[in-house]
Structure 1
Amino acid sequence: MSSPAHHQAEGREGGAALLAGGGTRLETVESAVRLLVEITAAALVAAEVILLFTGIAFRVLHRPLIWSDELASILFIWLAMFGSVVALMRGEHMRLTFVVDNLSPRAQAWCETLAVGAMCALFAMLMHASILYAEDQSYVELPALGWSGMVRALAVPVGFAFAILVCLLKLARHAPKDIAAVLAIFVVVGTGLYVAMPLFAAIGNWSLVIFFVGLLCIGVLSGVPIAFSFALATTSYLLATTSTPLTIIIGRMDEGMSGLILLAIPLFVLLGQLVEVTGMAKVMVNFLASLLGHTKAGMSYVLLGAMVLVSGISGSKTADMAAVAPVLFPEMRRRGMPEGELLSLLAAAGVMSETIPPSIVLIAIASSTGVSIAALFTAGIFPAILLALVLAIVARYRAAREPGQIEVTRAPRSVVMKALVTAVPALILPFLIRSAVVEGVATATEVSTIGIAYALVLGLLVYRGGLTWNRVLPMLARTASLSGAILFIVGAASAMSWALTQSGFSHVLAQAMAAVPGGKTGFMLISVVAFIVLGSLLEGIPAIVLFGPLLFPIAHQFGINEVHYSIVVVLSMGLGLFAPPFGLCYYAACIIGHVPPEAGMRRIWVYLAALFAGILVLALVPSLSTMFL
């Protein structure tokens, strides 16, 4: 997982001379571009919240706005593109830097140049196709608004243009010799692929290995963000082996990013930030600490309970950990809990809470596979609670073996009741969100706006002081950045999944998986292992979006309930996502908890083993996931 400092250091070597001469002018341009893009992205987030909440209000008044969903869709694609540009500026596109971080500083600088150059090359290759796609959409008329489809489709070339500008500004800070070397590599690779086109035609689908294993792995391991590695592999494959126009990639990315259910992602990300800023997370954690903190492993129970509660609000594991760890870790350290134990428990809790609604991964799987989001939200709670109990047992066992931890006396009943009264308004929120979706009062997208409105009221009237005007723009820009990074991955994975399907790979995969020994049970077990590996290498959402549409039809052939299968693969993916040395979110937990990665490398495995055992039980006993459907 790349850190902000890692990105701030990129290109320093060799870039000093440039900055000495024209740095002021370059910094001025960068600041202007950043301000323009971030304000636009923040305004789009705010507009979506206002629009959706207004739509709900008018529907309650029996005067529905028939054009609201259409306008929300238009704003959403613009938000996705501008958000991805903000993420590009901030270096927040998800990437695997485990290999790069172990290289010399000189090699790291070169890899950073390669990553920026690869992103710039992708946007340049797709720019013309995006313009053609926008022109094609001009013949489409939006039914409710009566506007040209180009109004919506122009978001893609405009976003690409800003992205190219940002990449060029980043490259201006890199050493000229590194830029020249990267450019030479691109020319050599491009020429080689062009010359090898007859060979690709001769070997047929074996060319998939070259592009979707070889080229993709090289990109990911060299630090190119995962979404861009997907898109580059797909673009290169189509150019070198087919006559398919690149507008297909733009169309598939547009389709992948445009599902209205995905609009819940930026809204729940914003809600998660509000929960942290307003102090709602803190009062919930304080109540749990007063109730359980005196018991053996009490603070471990508090951390698990807090992750359950906060996960029922934000849907983002990074946001959940960022809300819980800063509140709990100082006290846990004071009581003598080792750093590695803190990190291990936090990461394991992140796995456990992957299926607690409103999980962003559940939203993504519903969007890509068509599984009912209400059913997923209902089914995801009990498996998470079961895994939380498993982790609590392990934490209790570990606490008994840890000497030197400070014992704390039980809090007086008056303190517990005071903490409860303070926390009740915040504790209502996760139950409000879940019941509104499950009972059909609001969709997964709409309920997030209700949660935002509720959090704003609490922040302004109940938990005063944390929410101020000077924090609004950074929150909205941060929401756009995280959402843009997620949505661009969804779009790139959708295009890659389409290419794999068209190549016939999905048919081959279906035959191979259908032939797995053990039938239904064997398929479930191999799915668990496969998604653990995919989660550790590709991050959660791209793994789900890429392989969900390929594997869910096979699960259906075996007679496996699609909701049960969803819960199992999401938890398996989460286990890989938080497992060192490759799991990206393990390093996110390190950054959030201010704990070095090596501190948890040995301690985390007992927690991961317990989670793996729990996932196997869930895989083999479908009723644990479907009993409340």
Structure 2
Amino acid sequence: MQIDIAAAEAAPGAVADPPLRARPWLRALDNGLGHLVEIPAALLVVAEIAVLLSGVVSRYLLHAPLVWSDELAGILFLWLAMLGAVVAFRRAEHMRMTALVAMAGPRTRAFLDTVALVAGLIFVALVLHPAYEFASEEIFVQTPALELNNAWRAAALPVGFGLMLAIALIRLAETADWRLTAGALALGIGVAAGVTALQPVLSGLGNINLLLFFVLGVGALVFSGVPIAFAFGLSTFAYITLTTNAPSMVVVGRMDEGMSHLILLAVPLFVFLGLLIEMTGMARAMVGFLASLLGHVRGGLSYVLVGAMYLVSGISGSKAADMAAVAPVLFPEMKARGAKEGDLVALLSATGAQTETIPPSIVLITIGSVTGVSITALFTGGLMPGLVLAVTLCALVWWRYRGEDLSHVARPSGRVIGKTFLVALPALALPFVIRFAVVEGIATATEVSTIGIVYAVLAGLLIYRQFAWGRLYPMLVMTATLSGAILLIIGAATGMAWALTQSGFSQTLASAMTSLPGGALGFLFVSAVAFVILGSVLEGIPAIVLFGPLLFPIARTVGVHEVHYAMVVILAMGVGLFAPPFGVGYYAACAISRIHPDAGMRPIVGYILALLVGLLVIILVPWFSIGFL
């Protein structure tokens, strides 16, 4: 699952950026760097769509596969990931947990924001030279199909880190209060020097270092508001360089491996597809049809919200896109009927967790890429668990709205319902088109998003006549930005997972988990509790990248089907992600709804309990996850 964390930070009560002073030459330099990075990042999204679509057309329609299409897509993909990460860094849109930072006073918040910036600066400064070394060694590798020097691909790493370093320096120079900058730099340099001085002691601590670097270190960085990718990266770099004999270039190599899985190309393409369905009016058409069916019953629009999130999630794969497409359409009418703002944002958050398993969920794609589980099986298994949670949410909606007064609401005629159905039919068909293309082998899980993009463009131009050409460039940049933020986390988490594996932690964890009382059921319950916590602290994707390769083999050992296990951990992470006070998904829902986070704190408790009841059903009845495989 992916949430637009930038949106969360723009929510009422969220953490503000540190105050900046207006220096024209700095601002001009910053804007110039922005254009230098954003334009090629947007073009790379277009290029990836074109390359993958060409591969589908050539293979399926012309029966002449392009042997070089995946290779070229992989080369461009690393550049897209790094340039997107640079844009996210410049816009302060890397994922971070700000729940505790938001509770601090304005002065402390400004200092912690500056510390987060300094942490990013230190990380990119540390890995810049190893990234250059890594790219230099790739000169001796040649790609098989295009016969290109692989350094053309690997050069994305030092270029991206170099640009982030330049942006960090500009941002620090722009900070209005030099004391914030000096204090943050002194803190960062002091911690780095202190840890380095302790190297002789750390070398003799063995696996206690795992606790120091990956629990205390990561925890301190994440809770202080440092972006998750940099928190992972700094801890991993420090652990490897100070406690092992491995060269620092290993960190960059593991990051490259994590960001280079071709299956992850689905991330930017599905993000762009989600933006397209909102822009073309397809989401509005689906919501309109559901509202005509259920809008006249008690709690009807709440049922529509649950159903609309289920349908839209089957298209976009991005929770931010889902919520942004549905909430603006439904919330004004729901408020007019007397619904309280807190209940609206609470239900929107709950539906975000409910639909985590609906294909083409980005978390499903990530699980497939890091554990080897079939993406097609995950897509098939993800439909029913989302439906089970929808039923538990609807049961609570029925209870809460059983006394709603709808005397002023007119029931639409069959003619009106039929008309809205015909309008919505092309949009309703899109999830089935995507699923059909994967199941029938027309396109892979990576390529199928391009079919959805073409479908959405044609529907917007020819059917809904709603296609704002002026919004395309911002949408492409937003796609690159969000994708870069996600992929940098995956890269950093891959490095951390490698360090954990090399330390022997995976064997210790496997031994502990397989000896749990209760067998398979006990393992599932412990995993669910663990991933609720991980989902609230780390967010879904880094948690999966870190612990998926460790826990999925254990699940097979104790007799749990890997698809069933995937559904349990995804839904558990979803509950953690959308549950306040730490779940950042909740704050994203508040931002999209323009509702203060405090308003939904009480109403969301009931919805979280409903989700947990649904999760319990999924754990106890594996058929819901694997019955259609």
Q: TM-score under structure 2 normalisation?
A: 0.97
- Looking at structure 2, the residues matched to 3 and 536 of structure 1 have their Cα atoms a distance apart, in angstroms, of 16
Which sections of structure 1, spanning at least 5 residues, go unmatched?
Answer: none
Separation (CA, whole Å) in 2 of partners of 1:198 and 1:121: 22
Indicate conservation of the 8 Å contact 2:531/2:573, yes or no. Answer: yes
Say whether residues 1:302 and 2:298 are aligned partners.
no
> What residue number does 1:359 align with?
361
Matches for 1:10-409 after TM superposition, within 5 Å: 10-12=17-19, 15-16=20-21, 19=22, 23-59=23-59, 60-174=61-175, 175-400=177-402, 407-409=408-410
SS at structure 2 position matched to 1:141: coil
2:524 maps to what in 1?
Answer: 524
Q: Could you tell me how far apart the structure 2 residues matched to 1:487 and 1:303 are? A: 30
2 CA distance for matches of 1:421 and 1:111?
Answer: 53
Aligned to 1:456: 457
1:568-624 Cα deviation digits (max 9, x unpaired): 100110010001100010000111111111111111111111111111121122122
Distance 1:184 1:594 in 2: 38
The CA deviation string for residues 424-470 of structure 1, in whole angstroms up to 9 with x for no partner, is: 111110111112112322111111000000000011111113x2221
5 Å-filtered alignment, 1:466-615, equals: 467-615=467-615
| Runs of 4 or more above 3 Å deviation | 4-9, 403-407
Farther off after superposition, 198-207 or 564-573: 198-207
Deviation at 1:357, TM superposition (A): 0.4
Comparing 177-186 with 618-627, greater Cα deviation is found at 177-186
Instruction: Give TM-score scaled by structure 1 length.
Output: 0.97
Give the whole-Å Cα distance in 2 for the aligned partners of 1:186 and 1:212.
18
Cα deviations across residues 470-510 of structure 1 (Å, max 9, x unaligned)? 11110100000111111111111111110011111111111
1:238 maps to amino acid: I
- Aligned equivalents of 1:273 and 1:53: distance in 2? 19
Quote the Cα distance in structure 2 between the aligned partners of 1:576 and 1:186.
30
Does structure 2 conserve the Cα–Cα contact (< 8 Å) formed by 1:540 and 1:573? yes
Where does residue 622 of structure 1 map in the other structure? 622
Amino acid in structure 2 at the alignment position of 1:291: L
Structure 1 residues 482-491 or 189-198, which shifts more?
189-198
Aligned partner of residue 527 in structure 1, secondary structure: helix
Query: How big is the shift at 1:216?
Result: 0.7
Aligned residue for 1:167, secondary structure, equals helix
Report if the CA contact (8 A) 1:540-1:577 is conserved. yes
- Give the conservation status (yes or no) of the 8 Å contact 1:336–1:404: no
* SS at structure 1 position matched to 2:447: helix
C-alpha displacement of 1:8: 9.5
CA contact (8 A) 1:335 1:406 kept: no
Gaps of 5+ in 2: none
Percent identical residues = 54
Query: Residue by residue, what CA displacement relative to the aligned partner does 1:130-177 show, whole Å, maximum 9, x if unpaired?
Result: 000001111001000000110100010011111111111111122222
Q: Secondary structure at the match of 2:441?
A: coil
Residue 442 (1) aligns with residue 440 (2): no
Check whether the contact 1:337–1:405 (CA below 8 A) recurs between aligned residues.
no
Query: 2-side partners of 1:590 and 1:301: how far apart?
Result: 20
Report how far residue 338 of structure 1 moved: 1.0
Q: Are the aligned partners of 2:118 and 2:188 in contact in 1 as well (CA < 8 Å)?
A: no
What's the secondary structure of 1:94's corresponding residue?
A: coil
* Residues paired across the two proteins, number: 620
Q: Which has the higher contact order (CA 8 A, sep 6+)?
A: 2
Matched, 1:412 2:413: yes
The Cα shift of 1:520 comes to: 1.3
Quote the offset at 1:7 in angstroms: 9.3
**Equivalent residue of 1:445, what SS?**
coil
1:7–1:308 CA distance, 2 compared to 1 (3 A): closer
Give the aligned residue type for 2:198. Answer: A
SS of 2:338 mapped into structure 1: coil
Query: Secondary structure, in 3 states, of the residue corresponding to 2:580?
Result: coil
Instruction: Please state how far the C-alpha of 1:35 moved relative to its aligned partner.
Output: 1.1
Change (3 A) 1:181 1:405: farther
Preserved contact between residue 135 and residue 155 of structure 2 (Cα < 8 Å): yes
Say whether 1:425 aligns with 2:432. Answer: no
Conservation of the 8 A alpha-carbon contact between 2:14 and 2:98:
no
Amino acid at match of 1:493: A
Query: Cα deviations across residues 269-324 of structure 1 (Å, max 9, x unaligned)?
Result: 00000000000000110011011110111101111110011000000111101110
Residue pair 1:336, 1:406 contacting (<8 A) in 2 also: no
